[in-house]
Amino acid sequence: MAFNWDFIIKFLPNYGMATLLTIRLAAFGILLSVLLGVSCSLVLYFRVRVVGAIVRGYIELSRNTPLLIQLFFLYYGIPKLGILISSHACAIIGLTFLGGGYMAEAFRSGLESVSKAQLESGLSIGLNSFQMTRFVIFPQALSVAVPALGANCIFLIKETSVMSIIAIQDLMSLTKELIGMYYNTVETLTILVICYLLLLLPVSFLFLFIERRLRYAEFGL
């Protein structure tokens, strides 16, 4: 079966648009997840009382439910309470709700990997708790958390593939539409896979690179 190049060229701009949309949603989602995750992990690390319990509940909720179900509830359920959210906002909120829990766990285990001896060492030169976090704990926690952060980023980008369910014109909805209209299944699916590879491989390699760099720079106590 010959590849229909004309078809591909004709719809390439559509694929470009859909990919860009995915990048935009994922970027916002990841950024906000990291912010939410760092805050949650610090709340847990410093054992803030009431907030800690809420954060723990949130993390369990976000990690033990699928994004798809979270999105359905956000997009079709919540508006019934009179709160209207656009599909783009929904996508970003959903991604942040999901990602925040995963990011929080990644940062938390990083924070906890910093040894007691390091804390004592920092205390013994008179650092206060903010200075401790800023200069001693966080930099070390971050380098430990990098592999998990990378995995989370890739996970979140992949999760954007369900966004078509809330009327977002992403790669999946484009694919479905084109197959339905033109039956150029081979071409459509091929471009779909290529687009996702273009999206994810660079991120994957970037984190591999960072990890390797960090391994050189760290530890060896």
Partner 1 sequence: MQNSGFDVLLSLNNMRRLMQGLGVTLEIALISVMISIFLGVVYGLIMTTKNRAVYGLCRLYLEAFRIIPILVWLFLLFFGSALAFGSDLDGLLVSVIVFSMWGTAEMGDIVRGAVQSIPIHQRQSAEALGLRRIQVYRHVIIPQAVRRFVPAAINLVTRMIKTTSLVVFVGVTEILRVGKQIIEFNMMKNPMASFWIYAFIFIIYFILCYPISKFSKRLEAKWEC
Partner 2 sequence: MKIQTERILEIEGLKKVYDGKPVLNGVDLTIHRGEVAVVIGPSGCGKTTLLKCINGLETHQEGVVRFGGKILGDGGLKWTLARQKIGMVFQSYDLFPHMTVMDNVMLGPVQVQKRPAAEVREQALELLERVGLSDRQKDFPRQLSGGQKQRIAIVRALCMNPELMLFDEVTASLDPEMVREVLDVMLGLARQGMTMLIVTHEMEFAKAAADRVIFMDEGVITEESEAREFFKSPRTERAKRFLNTFYFD
Rg (CA), the chain: 21
Regarding 77 and contact with partner 1 (CB under 8 A), the answer is yes
Regarding 72 and contact with partner 1 (CB under 8 A), the answer is yes
30 or 136: whose CB is closer to partner 1? 30
128: partner contacted, choices partner 2, partner 1, none (Cβ within 5-8 A by kind): partner 2
Regarding 64 and contact with partner 1 (CB under 8 A), the answer is yes
Mask: binding to partner 1, 104-143, rule CB under 8 A, as x and -? ----------------------------------------
Q: Of the listed pieces 50-58, 80-88, 153-161, 211-219, which binds partner 2 according to CB under 8 A? A: 211-219
Give CA torsion, residues 99, 33, 31, 212, to 10 deg. -70
In this structure, how many other beta carbons lie within 10 angstroms of the beta carbon of residue 34? Answer: 20
In this structure, how many other beta carbons lie within 10 angstroms of the beta carbon of residue 92? Answer: 21
- Residues 99-128 binding partner 2 (CB under 8 A) are 115, 117-118, 120-128
81 or 221: whose CB is closer to partner 2? 221
The rounded distance, in Å, linking the Cα atoms of 147 and 157 is 16
* In the block, residue with structure tokens 């926690």: 141
Regarding 83 and contact with partner 1 (CB under 8 A), the answer is no
Tell which one of 3, 135, 205, 209 touches partner 2 (CB under 8 A): 135
84: partner contacted, choices partner 1, partner 2, none (Cβ within 5-8 A by kind): none
Instruction: Give the residues lining the site for partner 1 (CB under 8 A).
Output: 60-61, 63-66, 68-70, 72-73, 76-78, 80-81, 154, 158-159, 161-162, 165, 172, 175-176, 179, 185-186, 188-189, 192-193, 196-197, 200-201, 204
